[in-house]
Amino acid sequence: MRRPLQFQDHLFHELCLEDGGLFDFDLSDQKTVLTKEEKLLRRRAQIAKSAQKHRLRIREEIESLQAQQEELEGVLEAMQLRWREAAKRERLSRQEAEAINRRLRQTLAQTKSCVSHWREFMPRKSRLHPQKKPLRHHHPGLVSPPSTFAI
């Protein structure tokens, strides 16, 4: 709560009298009155200062964005390089797999042709030649015949 101005003046005078009046304050409420031209000049100065601050902020933001752009371009370039290398490895791996597949298909075709030739030249199983039962080599009761090679 504000006290009336007269009461404040009264307290001030009492304090000054007790001190011996060492301080001389002029607390009168004299406001400096500015002319219209002075007000206009002060406003223009404020506008100029504000515009200068605005330009400075824009310049700093542009510099910041340019630095960020350079950094991101570097990151992008590094990532593109890694992806190119990965794509190259994948392409080489694919080419190698395709070459292996070609060789396997060739081998399969050759094997099929050999099998068809063997079938033409080998006699077919007939009823005249019954198939013998195979020996049971792995039966524990059977003993393999002695080797004919001398050491």
* Residue 21 half-sphere exposure toward CB, CA atoms < 13 A: 3
Contact criterion met (CB below 8 Å) for 116 and 109 = no
pTM: 0.42
Is 50 or 14 the better-scoring residue by pLDDT?
A: 50
User: What tens digit of pLDDT does each residue of 117-130 get?
Assistant: 888 888 777 655 55
Q: For residue 101, what are the CA distances in angstroms to 97, 128, 150?
A: 6, 44, 47
pLDDT of res. 119: 84
Q: How many helices (H) and strands (E) does the chain have?
A: 2, 0
pLDDT greater than 80 at residue 66 = yes
Nearest Cα neighbor of 102 from 112, 94, 92 is: 94
pLDDT greater than 80 at residue 138 = no
pLDDT bracket for residue 16 (50, 70, 90): low
